[in-house]
Amino acid sequence: MTFSENKGTAGDWTVRSPSLSDRDFNRFSAFIYDTCGIKLPPIKKTMLSARLQKRLRQLHLESFTAYLDYVLSPDGQAKELSHMIDVVSTNKTDFFREAKHFDVMTSLVLPDYVQRMTHSSHKTLRVWSAGCSSGEEPYTLAMVLDDFFSRYPGLDYAILATDICTEVLAKAEEAIYTDEVVAPVPPVLRNKYLMKGKGSYKGFHRVVPELQRKVTFQRLNFVDRDFRIDQKMDLIFCRNVIIYFDRKTQCTLFEKFYRQFSPNGYLFTGHSETLEGIGDRMERVAAAVYRCRK
């Protein structure tokens, strides 16, 4: 397996890099907030500068002012905006992250749905991994759901996985992970759903094709006005995402989630996140797990 990286031309960058002024930081911060809802307080200035440096290098631009002017141009909106969002968004994830959620899912949520689905025409559980990053969460969901529904012939599941970052979505669709990354996967599921690499792929695992086909990846920006998903969702996993949004954006997002739910759907949030004051139509059923009152 080989990986390529466009390092651009070094030029004078080995001597001096441009500095991000307060004025330009404020312009970037306002633009990023308007574009994708991510709030960047002044403490994030150094982080933003470091992350954007590589885009300036690749585009051979000499200042942050020139870069932002380019991003704001029609050509930049078409060619560069997605790259900028990829750079500034945070994409931390793991297989079986916050593992208690999957225990709640198999002991409480899925038995509830089995009972409902057995007596209705609704035979496919629809799950949305909102903010899926590089795919560890939706593939974890697929392993758990596939293993669970193997005991219930006639019932099925489908997973939609979305993220704003095109770079991590490409990695998720590739479905190849290092041995270290897949270490949290229980051995019985690892043996069933992951293929161990050999030769040039030694040190890597790949998700089996049957499981890959159960997950559909799609780029989606939570703050887009035309935010829309065709199917109603039974389960929504949106974990460790809303912490990057202010209260106004959080309220707008949960209103969108509410409209997207099927009756009595379940929402899973990060354990450090709370719906207090913004999710009054959600009933808490376990730690960071809510049922939609609908």
Annotated catalytic residue 219: no
Q: Please state at what angle helix 22-36 crosses helix 64-72, rounded to 10 degrees.
A: 30
* Active-site choice (24, 146, 163, 234): 163
DSSP state of 12: G
**Is residue 293 within 8 Å of 281, Cβ to Cβ?**
yes
Query: Distance (Å, rounded) from C-alpha 96 to C-alpha 56?
Result: 36
As given in the structure block, the two tokens for residue 252 are 């707008």
Q: 163: which strand partners?
A: 219
Alpha helices in 17-95 (DSSP H): 22-36, 45-59, 64-72, 74-79, 81-88
Query: Distance (Å, rounded) from C-alpha 107 to C-alpha 89?
Result: 34
Annotated catalytic residue 51: yes
* Active-site choice (27, 51, 206, 284): 51
Residues 6+ apart with CB under 8 A from 77: 71
Burial 96-112 (b: 16+ CB within 10 A, else e): bbbeebbebbeeebbee
Catalytic residue numbers, as ranges: 51, 163
